[in-house]
Amino acid sequence: LAKTTQPISMDSYEGQEVNITCSHNNIATNDYITWYQQFPSQGPRFIIQGYKTKVTNEVASLFIPADRKSSTLSLPRVSLSDTAVYYCLVVSSSSASKIIFGSGTRLSIRP
Amino acid sequence: EAQVTQNPRYLITVTGKKLTVTCSQNMNHEYMSWYRQDPGLGLRQIYYSMNVEVTDKGDVPEGYKVSRKEKRNFPLILESPSPNQTSLYFCASSFLSGNSYNEQFFGPGTRLTVL
């Protein structure tokens, strides 16, 4: 499994767009990228998943460049309730091997 | 309601006293997994299971056992708990597509303290 690297923490303000970048230099052809959100003392919650280019859902967008060595989670117009830890994972589409979460990015949103 | 449940939610015990944390899901998921979370270390996978009677080690399996006798249940067993197993534990489940898992659904967590 490819190791991921994310910033330890980020700060932003309500109403801003927040972009969290994840590096995964050793991503394999069959791997895809998944992002989870975790609030204190709760289990992580799936946000978005993608293989290449751009994926968008009702809460976020995921941008993956052609070389797939990095990805960017974009949260539009954040609010205080978006304060959480965000995890980037690389998972294999061909085998359900062990999953590595990493330490995540602690996002703090200020009024 | 589709959910993953864990019991107990909180447990304080003493070193060496065997304990079991139960995990159950009602979504007919094939894949189930246990994680522990410690400050500054994110989530680390303990064990996972792709189906009944199929289990495998994650990143930190030492000191833990699991079993998968039924599809819906995946208990975590600590035969002889030690203080370094004090942690927040999460169970998760997902469907499998071919050999790969999909979005994982997490339980509410079990906070374990071993004195």
Convert the pLDDT of each residue in B53-102 to its tens digit. 999 999 999 999 999 999 999 999 999 999 999 999 999 999 987 666 67
**Residue corresponding to tokens 């899901």:** B25
Q: What is the mean pLDDT of residues B29-57?
A: 93
> CA of A70, closest CA in chain B: separation in Å?
20
pLDDT at B101 (0 to 100): 67
Query: Is the predicted pLDDT of residue B19 greater than 80, yes or no?
Result: yes
Strands (E) located in chain B? 4-7, 10-13, 19-25, 31-38, 42-51, 54-57, 65-66, 76-78, 87-94, 96-97, 100-101, 105-106, 110-114
- How long is chain B? 115
**Which residues on neighbouring strands pair with residue A78, listed in sequence order?**
none
Among residues B76, B106, B87, B111, the alpha carbon closest in space to that of B38 is found at B87
Average confidence score pLDDT of chain B: 94
- Cβ B103–A46 below 8 Å, yes or no? yes
Q: How many CB pairs under 8 A join A and B?
A: 67
Amino acid, res. A48: I
On the question of pLDDT at A72 being above 80, the answer is yes
By the 8 A CB rule, do A6 and A102 touch?
yes
Closest partner CB to B100 (pick from A46, A96, A103): A96
The per-residue pLDDT for B100 is: 67
* pLDDT, averaged across chain A: 92
Percent of chain A with pLDDT over 90: 75
* DSSP letter assigned to residue A5: B
A99 and A89 Cβ atoms separated by less than 8 Å: yes
Q: Which one of A45, A55, A59, A99 would you mutate to disrupt binding with B, by most B Cβ within 10 Å of its Cβ?
A: A99
A96 pLDDT more than 70: no
Tokens encoding B46: 């303990």
pLDDT for the residue B91:
98
Most confident of A29-43, A82-96, B17-31: B17-31
Rounded CA gap, A86 and B36, in Å? 17
Per-residue pLDDT for A11 more than 70? yes
A32: CB partners within 8 A, 6+ apart: A49, A50, A51, A90, A91, A93
